[in-house]
Amino acid sequence: MTPAQSRGARGLIGLTQAELARRSNLSESTIRDFEKGRRLPSINNLVAIQRALEDAGVEFIAENGGGAGVRLKKGR
């Protein structure tokens, strides 16, 4: 997951950085610094962020030559 995917995913579902931090059990500064490209969280923290966003209804799209992205899960 890229910082842009995290920002885009939050935008799709209307989550603030504070809410994503709460849902992923991380600090708001971890989310903010990741999304601004200041630091890369540990793999465990990245998994926690992605899982929180997926649980909220986001689907991550792999690079596959067309660019990585995010979208709402079907049925949402």
pLDDT digits (tens, 9 = 90+) for 2-28: 999 999 999 999 999 999 999 999 999
**3-72, superfamily in CATH?**
lambda repressor-like DNA-binding domains (1.10.260.40)
Question: How far is 9 from 74, CA to CA, in rounded Å?
Answer: 14
Q: What is the residue extent of each domain of the chain?
A: 3-72
Question: How far is 7 from 17, CA to CA, in rounded Å?
Answer: 9
Query: Sign (positive/negative) of CA torsion 13, 75, 43, 4?
Result: negative
Question: How far is 18 from 13, CA to CA, in rounded Å?
Answer: 14
Residue corresponding to tokens 């660019």: 67
pTM of the predicted model, to two decimals?
0.90
pLDDT digits (tens, 9 = 90+) for 37-63: 999 999 999 999 999 999 999 999 887
